[in-house]
Structure 1
């Protein structure tokens, strides 16, 4: 039940953030005033659904049913713009991207509002169906700090070598010798920690950077469950970082086509990520039914690349060949983006 509660809370948080990013601009109410209306908020007389001065609705409700409507409308973002946006985002993503860029803004949910809502909804569904990083890992998963006398001696030698290495210039031949010695000492350290059992060897991790070793690797070693929890928590809090990480790669693929600006690429990336969040929601729900894992995997390997290719071709007006080679390059760039994103999350988890 705690997962269900956290999931509902995450969905509501996403809806509120989406509504904060995109207020009720462009939404049309069901009540059409036939005569002149005086705004109860600022006193302006006008004809229409909204006050032209302050934006308040012409129809002022005073019913419990309307309160329930406001909750659904404001928190879950269920308005006319969502139903205009979702079909295009799913089946004609390039058309949605192009139309939004060229100025059709009021009838569609903005890319950032859509992204915020779908990402938080995705993590909410993950919580509900029990998908998450394990947090009950043993603290000695990467080795224990309780050294025997041999390990203590080896560890002191390794620390001395690392300090010496840090003082040497980058091109010093002595650095290569020290690296070789450290590898040998790592093996000795492992054998000393688990004599007679080759399966329980402990290998220490050293980057050569004392700050990283202390701040990051040691924390992963001492409490991997907590670090995985931080990685998961930061994953949705900083998911927006995927947008600025992705835009430069897309911009480079259209470098010689000056009609496409960085803003266009940002809209493309944000709508694409929104669809992927929706896809992961469907996949996670499918995985809960018997034999649903296979259907979930098949859906991903068919829908994800097809959607990306269609969005590329339609949004930028590309030929089949031009869209295909960019699609292949983009698939490779996406792996780099994911790696960079995980590195950033790892560094954030160190604090």
Structure 2
């Protein structure tokens, strides 16, 4: 509840009705003073999402640990106990992608450090190496007599850390080079030859292939480097991912609608289940992301082992969660629920992979 000062005047500023208590019984607006201290802007924002009465934290607790409960309660008509599904999804989505923006999952900076000097921190593989690998290397080197296996192990562990600087990776992948002048799209080296062949032998998939081919030849003519293409695709895919997930929501609900009774379950019901499930997935992905960021920050193997175990447990739980929630919401027999759940999980996995590929293609077409 807001802590804004209540107006002495009992006439609602919004609709003009009489307000006996804090909220107008006609429009629901809070009857507080128009001017508040500056900090009220921030406290009101936090209260609006977290609801200090426990609504938000109760929603998160039930979302994570009681699969299907939020959906069942909402469909029973109890709409004020927890945060509404749409508002919950938007808030969780905002927080998740905001954290991703603050802490990028992968450092894709291929540039040297200031002054043109290469930094040891620029080594991709060095960042990937764990403290356990370093301790293994030290223990092998401490031996008085090394075997052939020890020598191979030392060579494999030191090769990456000594020589795999960003520029080396860049050269291996040829990211600093432009698209080869002899490179072509399929058997065609130029846009003109491709269009000529297309006119003679059209295909039903031309509406997909033609824009991609034209973009390829366009980037080739401009002399765009592979590095720029790679980084642009990553960046644009990241920015388009929230939109793609939002577009996929009604498709996920549609698959649920296909596999369940149309008389008993409306599309609206499946939509509520979908919003809760996707909110859980985003929240789980955020937790896994934060745990993986913590791995390696400390040199204690026990802490890293615990973090790895938590990541694995959360990953497995996110899969099992769908089956548990599906059974509790749709009240199907255990075996029937499992079979339907498996079919839905498989179909949605394939459909989402198709969406990811489509997102990559769109990101490629958006490169300038």
Give your verdict on TM over 0.5. Answer: yes
On the 8 A contact 1:98/1:316 being kept in 2, the answer is: no
**2:346 is equivalent to residue 332 of structure 1:** yes
Q: Please report how far the alpha carbon of residue 242 of structure 1 lies from its aligned counterpart in structure 2 after TM superposition.
A: 2.0
Q: Please report how far the alpha carbon of residue 216 of structure 1 lies from its aligned counterpart in structure 2 after TM superposition.
A: 6.6
Deviates more, 1:76-85 or 1:90-99: 76-85
Alpha-carbon displacement from aligned partner over 1:227-266 (angstroms, at most 9, x marks no partner): 2110111112443112023122222211x45211111111
Alpha-carbon displacement from aligned partner over 1:47-67 (angstroms, at most 9, x marks no partner): 343112332213448445644
Return closer, same or farther for 1:307/1:30 CA change in 2, 3 Å cut-off.
Answer: farther
Return closer, same or farther for 1:264/1:57 CA change in 2, 3 Å cut-off.
Answer: same
Return closer, same or farther for 1:243/1:213 CA change in 2, 3 Å cut-off.
Answer: same
Return closer, same or farther for 1:160/1:63 CA change in 2, 3 Å cut-off.
Answer: closer
- Residue in 2 aligned with 1:121? 95
1:63-142 matched pairs, under 5 angstroms: 63=37, 66-74=40-48, 76-80=49-53, 81-132=55-106, 134=108, 136=110, 141=175
- In 1, Cα distance between equivalents of 2:4 and 2:109: 52
- In 2, Cα distance between equivalents of 1:125 and 1:91: 23
Alpha-carbon displacement from aligned partner over 1:284-327 (angstroms, at most 9, x marks no partner): 12112232662343123321022111210111112211221122
1:229-308 matched pairs, under 5 angstroms: 229-254=235-260, 256-290=261-295, 291=304, 294-308=308-322
On the 8 A contact 2:10/2:20 being kept in 1, the answer is: yes
RMSD over aligned Cα atoms: 3.9
Q: Please report how far the alpha carbon of residue 130 of structure 1 lies from its aligned counterpart in structure 2 after TM superposition.
A: 3.1
- In 1, Cα distance between equivalents of 2:23 and 2:245: 35
- In 1, Cα distance between equivalents of 2:41 and 2:5: 20
Task: Return the TM-score normalized by structure 2.
Answer: 0.65
- Residue in 2 aligned with 1:164? 197
SS at match of 1:46: coil
Alpha-carbon displacement from aligned partner over 1:166-215 (angstroms, at most 9, x marks no partner): 523669xxxxxxxxxxxxxxxxxxxxxxxxxxxxxxxxxx9993222123
- In 1, Cα distance between equivalents of 2:334 and 2:285: 27
- In 2, Cα distance between equivalents of 1:162 and 1:237: 33
Return closer, same or farther for 1:145/1:285 CA change in 2, 3 Å cut-off.
Answer: closer
Of residues 9, 20, 27 in structure 2, which corresponds to 1:54?
Answer: 27
On the 8 A contact 1:97/1:268 being kept in 2, the answer is: yes
Query: What are structure 2's unaligned runs of at least 5 residues?
Result: 111-168, 296-303
Number of residue pairs matched by the alignment = 285
Structure 1 runs, 4 residues or longer, greater than 6 Å off: 30-33
**2:184 is equivalent to residue 147 of structure 1:** no
Q: Please report how far the alpha carbon of residue 345 of structure 1 lies from its aligned counterpart in structure 2 after TM superposition.
A: 1.9
On the 8 A contact 1:89/1:96 being kept in 2, the answer is: yes
Task: Return the TM-score normalized by structure 1.
Answer: 0.67
On the 8 A contact 2:188/2:194 being kept in 1, the answer is: no
Query: What are structure 1's unaligned runs of at least 5 residues?
Result: 1-27, 172-205
SS at match of 2:68: helix
On the 8 A contact 1:135/1:228 being kept in 2, the answer is: no
On the 8 A contact 1:313/1:323 being kept in 2, the answer is: yes
1:6-85 matched pairs, under 5 angstroms: 37-60=10-33, 62-63=36-37, 66-74=40-48, 76-80=49-53, 81-85=55-59
- Residue in 2 aligned with 1:15? none
- In 2, Cα distance between equivalents of 1:270 and 1:319: 24
